[in-house]
Structure 1
């Protein structure tokens, strides 16, 4: 007697499952433009309310300019704004690079030499508690009015968040991985580059995102103290001249610089970190 064996299609071969999967993917793909559209729409609504409110209540321009006034300043003073934006961009980028590089190196030393961490971490914390506006004049007196004090302040303000997060990230290593490397007689450098660095990357990029805005703030604050160029210098000049639309235009440019830095760090994170960070 023969029996007929019938096979049911698997989930991967079932056309209904395939169509359902395509439907979910299309929904997710369609939701992405919507997520991007919502904040843009909210910003446009707020700008419209700002414009209408200023016109309705006849708010003086020197108190609060309308968005149309700020846009006009961005167009009319574009050459002046860009000439002063480039020094701030250079100072912020250099301060970001120097501060974070020193923080990463010091975090590696702290993880491998705990007495050094106990000795220097309170010093780093003490320096962090000093207001930047108090440190800036001292650095300007020591280093002059060039790029050096601006870079130093940008580095200082970026340094501490990266140091704390990097130390935590280097310590957030799976114990089984460490035991395996010890069994294999791995050197401390091999443990660092094969395990600890990978574990610290999510923590590092989180601190780098914070530092993107901090380094711009540090450069602008340093330009307030002593400079003949830069967005900080331009903020002082526009404040003295009561040129409020230009003042707001300078703030828009400064925010745009920080947003670009943040986007670059976010892109680097997406290209580098391709796994979920586990809580220590």
Structure 2
């Protein structure tokens, strides 16, 4: 008579998928140990320094105070993170999309490049903190000026990199496409865009962090919600732990967008050498 296998023993056996996930997690932590240890060391020095020198909390809160601010103001931080994330994401999409379309236009029309490129440079030269009040006066305190400001910060680096990337296509490949009587659209999709992708993703990584900064700067000008508004409110009310916690959330938001761009880059540019990524 055969014996039944205990259910508990079967359930306790880890699957290959779970084992693989644990291995990848351990490998990731092992690879990142220098930055993890450095970060923990800096936090320890910060905590000890604030404690030993008895620095007032309103001047420089300790890491423990900041953790306490996260616990006490978790919902406030979350409510103000969502608007900033929306503004930064839409600004990132709109600013980069306009830059890519203009770059394609410039490559196919040197006259357009000579006519419009200097204007783009002039707009970039204007401090964004000076542009923000103008856009608020024109569009009000709604979502539109914040998206435009975040998009403006993303726009110029992507435009410059994309133009350079589209022009970096191999002359031999361009000559071959002409011999094969390829249309301009075929040259664009099969030669110029693949050559421009490394330049594009380099610009998108810059834009990934810049769009969050643009959204926060826009929120400083007359907004009552978002991380930028929370930074202003915490500063004027001397709530330093909440101020530092808000800054940490903003940085984590920028890192999250940067990581998403890097993830897409690894999936799209498979021919790029690992050492250059």
Q: Give the TM-score range, shorter chain.
A: 0.7 to 0.9
Does 1:245 find its partner at 2:241?
yes
1:155 to 142, 147, 151: 151
Deviation for aligned residue 1:175: 1.2
The structure 1 residue matched to 2:250, chosen from 225, 232, 254, is 254
Aligned to 2:264: 268
Cα distance between partner residues in 2 of 1:52 and 1:144: 46
Q: How far apart in 2 are the matches of 1:211 and 1:269?
A: 14
Structure 1 residue runs without a partner (length 5+): 1-29
Task: Give the length in aligned residue pairs.
Answer: 250
Say which SS state the counterpart of residue 227 (structure 1) adopts: coil
- 1:96 counterpart = 2:92: yes
- Tell me the equivalent position of 2:140: 144
Partner of 2:111: 115
**In 1, distance between residues paired with 2:32 and 2:233?**
37
The 4+ residue runs of structure 1 with deviation greater than 6 A are none
| d(CA) in 2 for partners of 1:122, 1:35 | 45
Provide the rounded CA distance (Å) in 2 between the counterparts of 1:246 and 1:32.
Answer: 31
Bigger radius of gyration among the two: 1
Check if 1:66 corresponds to 2:62. yes
- State the match for 2:19 in structure 1: none
Query: Which residue in the other structure is 1:169 paired with?
Result: 165
Deviation of 1:237 after TM superposition, in Å, equals 0.5
Q: Does 1:214 align with 2:210?
A: yes
Q: TM-score, normalised by structure 2?
A: 0.88
Segments of 5+ residues of structure 2 without an aligned counterpart are: 1-25
Which SS does the other structure have where 1:275 is aligned? coil
Q: What's 2:44 paired with?
A: 48
Q: So what's the TM-score if we normalise by structure 1? A: 0.87
RMSD between aligned alpha carbons? 1.5
Task: Kindly provide the CA deviation profile for residues 93-131 of structure 1, in whole angstroms up to 9, marking residues without a partner as x.
Answer: 000000000000000000010011011111101100111
Map 1:179-198 to 2 at 5 A.
179-198=175-194
CA offsets, 1:64-97, max 9 Å, x none? Answer: 0000000110111000000001000000000000
Query: CA shift at 1:181, angstroms?
Result: 0.5
CA distance in 2, matches of 1:238, 1:133: 20
